[in-house]
Amino acid sequence: MALLILVCTAIPNSKQRETIRKTWGSIAVVNNNTGYVRLAFLVGSTNNATLQEQLERESVEHSDIIQQNFVDSYQNLTLKSVMLLKWVSEFCPNVQFVLKTDDDMYVNVPNLVYSLSRFPIKSNVIYGVLFKKAKPDRNPRAKWYVPKNQFDGNVFPDYLSGTGYVMSRDVVPKLLEASSTLPFLVMEDVFITGLCASQYHIKRYNIRGFAYWRRPPTGCAFKDAITGHHVTVKDMIKIWKELQKKPLICRPPKKKG
């Protein structure tokens, strides 16, 4: 299996990137018996010459930085994911799956690879945390405000949490094509895995082990998990070190009542 992991990150977050390389992302530098895994980081542009120079040095050292020409901001998260699709379409014809995730996530790569290898559906599919029957927020003051000129329906199509979703490679050009025909939403996950995916009838499934919430920062919490959100640099190091313990002894959860 060939898996490409693309981590959306902000240019100043060099510490997060370095920690990922040394912890859960370190498995991506080896071609082992579970398959071929590659890791890269996706960033936008900056007008800060110092930050740009630092990023270029980091890129030379690690050869894992993908920089695209758009302003790196919260409002441009959807554009960032479209750039991700475009880059994969142009440069990664031979991968089987693509994981899109963020730099505050912990990914248990071996568990992900194992799960993907066992799923019978390996084409025209996106996996992650599936949301059904979510409604757009029409309050103009809300963080996730969706005006009717962007989406006029009462219920979003099924979509997957943007904290981490994995796509079969064949859906990438379909999503990219659909993104050029639809009004952009700031809600990147709804736009890419909901609206764009619906245009091509791409299947979307929930994977047990994916999470958009924070798990306890322990090896035991991530032993059987695939992802966890809101993970600090300190947490990543702690989780990684504990997962390297052989055997990792975990107490069963206490029964209630």
Residuewise pLDDT in 10s, the chain (257 residues):
799 999 999 999 999 999 999 999 998 765 555 568 999 999 999 999 999 999 999 999 999 999 988 887 777 889 999 999 999 999 999 999 999 999 999 999 999 999 999 988 899 999 999 999 999 999 888 888 888 888 889 999 999 999 999 999 999 999 999 999 998 888 999 999 999 999 999 999 999 999 999 999 999 999 999 999 999 999 999 999 999 988 888 887 666 55
Retrieve residue 145's tokens.
């405000």
**Residues sharing a CB contact under 8 Å with residue 101, sequence separation 6 or more, in sequence order:** 5, 6, 7, 8, 107, 163, 164, 227
- The answer to whether the peptide bond before residue 247 is cis (omega within 30 degrees of 0) is yes
**Residues sharing a CB contact under 8 Å with residue 32, sequence separation 6 or more, in sequence order:** none
Lookup result for tokens 């050869």: 63
Whether the Cβ atoms of residue 63 and residue 89 lie closer than 8 Å to each other: no
Rounded Cα distance, 60 and 64, in Å: 9
- Residue 211 — left, alpha, or beta (φ > 0 → left; ψ -120 to 50 → alpha)? beta
Q: Which long-range contacts (CB under 8 A, 24 or more apart) does 142-145 make?
A: 144/186, 144/187
Rounded Cα distance, 115 and 124, in Å: 17
What is the gyration radius of the CA atoms in the chain, in angstroms? Answer: 18
- pLDDT tens for residues 129-141? 999 999 999 988 8
Q: Which residues face 236 on adjacent strands?
A: none
- pLDDT tens for residues 227-243? 999 999 999 999 999 99
Lookup result for tokens 């904290």: 163
* Residue 174 φ/ψ, nearest 5 degrees: -65, -45
Amino acid of residue 127:
Y
